Amino acid sequence: MGAEAQVIPLHGPGREKPEAVEAERDLREQEQAPVVAFPGGVDRPAPDEPLSDAARSALGFLRDRLTGDYTVDEFGFDAELTEAVFLPPLRALYKKWFRVDTYGVENLPSTGGALLVSNHSGTIPLDSLMTAVAVHDETGGRHLRGLGADLVFQVPLVGSFARKSGQTLACHADAERLLRKGELVGVWPEGFKGIGKPFASRYKLQRFGRGGFVSAALKAGVPIIPVSVIGAEEIYPKLGDIKVLARMLGLPYFPVTPFFPMFGLLGAVPLPTKWSIEFGAPIATDAYGPDAVDDPMLVFQLTDQVRESIQQTLYQRLSQRKSVFRG
């Protein structure tokens, strides 16, 4: 009889399954394979690499929102939300689209309250938003607490965003409380008359009302800073007003520009004009005392002084401007 075939066990001491051998070989090859860097690739941080300040801030912001661990002031202002959500897109518009130049930033106080009074223009009030960015970035983080018209807070979503970004109703009581708390408060006394004026009246200041902003500054004893904005008048040249549509929509006016409403939403894109914002020399009020608000002649004189300062600065800047789009 022939010899019996020897049976060699596949598994046992010193033997490995073929699958295990192949898996181990593949793992060794992967570990020894060279690392290829692809152009445009994103380098992923090592697990022990610390997070950047921006990433840590974003994660902290999201955590606070999910857990409800954040605070707002009595007016609904959410500083963290403003820093993380509202300011970045406005800053891009400020730097890249309107290319804003600022002057007189040394007149903005680093601490304490002040009332900033500005001309108002642009059909859509982007001038107030750009001024808020300028104040924040030029003072190292101070926020401009704007006083807005009732209509702003009646529009769905817009009113909520306005509150959370630090805006409040344009009333004497709110303005005085904010100023006494040491806030920078912004007011645009021309109101809808300023942003709704026709293109032919650009940079001609409208009536400033009865000087309510002066009364608030006198009571709080804070300086008044005139602010002059150049460039906003041309972003939406207002050629006409469809009053019927304005009444139907509950708006102060329905503007007609060279591009709106003819081109629909595309016509709502602002023209990339070159802007300048100048903060004028402060007008002191602390020497008058809080009882000075009862002197209508003084209130009128201060109101006229602020208005004249803004108007003269506008004319001076316009005389130096060579181009609407290049400054």
- Write out pLDDT tens, residues 95-133: 999 999 999 999 999 999 999 999 999 888 899 999 999
324/68: higher pLDDT: 324
Average model confidence (pLDDT) across the chain = 85
Quick one: pLDDT at residue 135? 98
* Main-chain phi, psi angles of 124, to 5 degrees: -110, 125
User: Residue 76: which residues within 8 A CB-CB, separation 6 or more?
Assistant: 163, 164, 168
User: Residue 10: its pLDDT value, please?
Assistant: 47
Higher pLDDT, 57 or 227: 227
pLDDT tens-place string over residues 133-168: 999 999 999 999 999 988 888 888 888 899 999 999
Distance spanning both ends of the chain, measured CA to CA = 109
Check pLDDT > 90 for residue 40.
no
- Between 189 and 23, the more confident residue is 189
**pTM for this model (two decimals):** 0.79
Name the pLDDT band for 38 (thresholds 50, 70, 90): very low
Q: Which pLDDT does position 30 carry in this prediction?
A: 55
Confidence (pLDDT) at 18 = 55
Q: Could you count the other beta carbons within 10 Å of the beta carbon of residue 121?
A: 30
% of the chain residues with pLDDT over 70:
79
Going by C-alpha positions, the residue among 276, 275, 280 that lies closest to residue 307 is: 280
Average pLDDT over residues 216-241: 95
Half-sphere exposure at residue 44, Cβ-oriented, CA atoms within 13 angstroms: 3
Which pLDDT belongs to residue 154? 85
Q: Cα 179 from chain centroid?
A: 21
- Predicted pLDDT of residue 26: 59
Q: In degrees, to the nearest 5, what angle opens at C-alpha 147 toward C-alphas 142 and 148?
A: 130
Question: pLDDT confidence of 216, banded at 50, 70, 90?
Answer: very high
Dump pLDDT digits (tens) for 22-36.
656 655 655 555 554
**pLDDT beyond 90 at 219:** yes
- The residue that leads in pLDDT, 139 or 57, is 139
Name the band, by pLDDT with cuts 50, 70 and 90, for residue 301.
Answer: very high
Domains assigned to the chain: 86-235+270-320 (3.40.1130.10)
Per-residue model confidence (pLDDT) at position 152: 85
Reply yes or no on whether the pLDDT at 16 is more than 60: no
Backbone angles phi, psi at 94, to 5 degrees: -65, -45
Neighbour-count burial of 69, counting CB atoms closer than 10 A to its CB (0-12 exposed, 13-18 middle, 19+ buried): exposed
Residue 5 or 173, more confident: 173
